[in-house]
Amino acid sequence: MTFLIDRRSNPRQKSAVNRQRFLRRYRERIKESVAENLRGRQIAQDGRGEKISIPARDTSEPVFRHGPGGRTTHVVPGNEEFTRGDRIPRPKGAGSGSGPGQASNEGEGLDEFVFQINQQEFLDALFDDMELPNLTKRQLSGLEEFKRVKGGFASDGAPSNISIVRSMRSATARRIALGAGKRTELRRLEQELEALDDGEASLEQRADLEQRIADLRERLARIPFIDDVDIRYHRHIKEPIPHSKAVMFCLMDVSGSMDQATKDLAKRFYILLYLFLSRNYDKTEVVFIRHHTAAKEVDEEEFFHSRETGGTVVSSALELMKSVLEARYSPTEWNIYGAQASDGDNWPNDAVRCTELINQLLPLCQYYAYVEITDAGNKPLWQTYGPVREQWADTFAMQHITGPGDIYPVFHELFRKQSA
């Protein structure tokens, strides 16, 4: 008695729970590894998950086993030249309890336990206990995209949308309605005809009745089987698809004082922000604005790599952001995030203009984060933004970054879950 069963279509991922248990147990380690992996990642790189490696000894399951030492005898195949009593110098490094060739069973093995996690798990690990502030405000407002849903029936439409069942149903109804009177008449005449006796007297009357019956039959047959008025069409209506969209403005100072290392730090910050936003929104767009004395919208490559020199006028970038916002990203549809990175230099006379602009921008933004990448404290821009922070405590935040190690903590600080 044998059963042959095709199990291939069984639900996948029988081990999913065990896998989650594992990830849960090593959450701290995985978070470390994820933070490490952030180096060298493209901003808008769509993730296919991450390779995680954690120290193997942390995940080992201990059991009692023999250590090196003592006396052991191994049986080994493939003798070619040895005879009894031969002495073999102890192989270097394998002077342990394991004899020739058996080292692979014991020993250290790989130092790292390496495995893949998917994009979702990666982001979960990365943004664990962080949240976007003010998220709910404009979340479900994108209205320009629609999907077609069935919406009952209509009496006009395209032939491809004809509903056969509905059409036939109304045709039947029409035929019943139009023929009802005639059929009653017909039945009456037929009864009369049967009631007549076969005598000579009724011969004429019989011919008359037969004629009228034939007429009625013909008129009944002329009622059309299906008519234009019977045809019904499936109706489709457009329904707006609610979804959330976010746009992220990356503003960066590229003046002479910003060197490549500083830009790298800024880039890592932007990457984090991008990943974080794309986790929360269906669609995330990025606008890159760089500025020195004048601002310019550029693509990612140019944003991070081109070199410029000159002074710094921060307001130029804010102004450009404002005009892009007005032109392309209506605040009723988009969740708007601003992230500005700078070494903190600004042209002194620009401060007033900056404050003015940022005060106009902030009501439109969900959140605006400013990171100052500098070793020295309190540069001009920091001082300009100081009062802004007090006024817009909900939407405006700023932090100092001095080195790569700060980025994740600072990011974490900026988007820390607000305790209720």
Interface residues toward another protein, by CB under 8 A = 1-8, 10, 12-15, 17-25, 59-80, 82-90, 95, 97, 99-102, 104-105, 113-116
Q: Shortest approach of another protein to residue 8 CB, angstroms? A: 5
Q: Shortest approach of another protein to residue 96 CB, angstroms? A: 9
Q: Is the CB of 91 or the CB of 152 nearer to another protein? A: 91
Round to whole Å and give the CA distance between 256 and 149.
56
In this structure, are residues 50 and 117 in contact, taking their beta carbons and an 8 Å threshold? yes
Q: Shortest approach of another protein to residue 326 CB, angstroms? A: 49
Q: Is the CB of 60 or the CB of 155 nearer to another protein? A: 60
Q: Shortest approach of another protein to residue 412 CB, angstroms? A: 25
Q: Is the CB of 86 or the CB of 198 nearer to another protein? A: 86
- The tokens describing 276, both together, are 């974080």
Q: Is the CB of 23 or the CB of 324 nearer to another protein? A: 23
Of the candidates 129, 125, 104, the residue with the CA atom closest to the CA atom of residue 116: 125
Q: Shortest approach of another protein to residue 279 CB, angstroms? A: 23
Q: Is the CB of 13 or the CB of 418 nearer to another protein? A: 13
Q: What does R_g of the chain's alpha carbons equal in angstroms?
A: 40
In this structure, are residues 229 and 174 in contact, taking their beta carbons and an 8 Å threshold? yes
Q: Which residues contact 150 (CB under 8 A, 6 or more apart)?
A: 234, 235, 236
Q: Shortest approach of another protein to residue 85 CB, angstroms? A: 7
Q: Shortest approach of another protein to residue 4 CB, angstroms? A: 5
Of the candidates 174, 212, 170, 172, the residue with the CA atom closest to the CA atom of residue 190: 212
The single residue listed with the structure tokens 């605040």 is: 331
- The tokens describing 341, both together, are 């990175």
Q: Is the CB of 75 or the CB of 165 nearer to another protein? A: 75
Helices (H), 296-403: 300-305, 314-328, 351-361, 380-391
Of the candidates 280, 278, 250, the residue with the CA atom closest to the CA atom of residue 47: 278
Round to whole Å and give the CA distance between 36 and 29.
11
In this structure, are residues 275 and 284 in contact, taking their beta carbons and an 8 Å threshold? no
Q: Is the CB of 29 or the CB of 245 nearer to another protein? A: 29
Q: Shortest approach of another protein to residue 24 CB, angstroms? A: 7
Q: Is the CB of 23 or the CB of 223 nearer to another protein? A: 23
Q: Which residues contact 409 (CB under 8 A, 6 or more apart)?
A: none
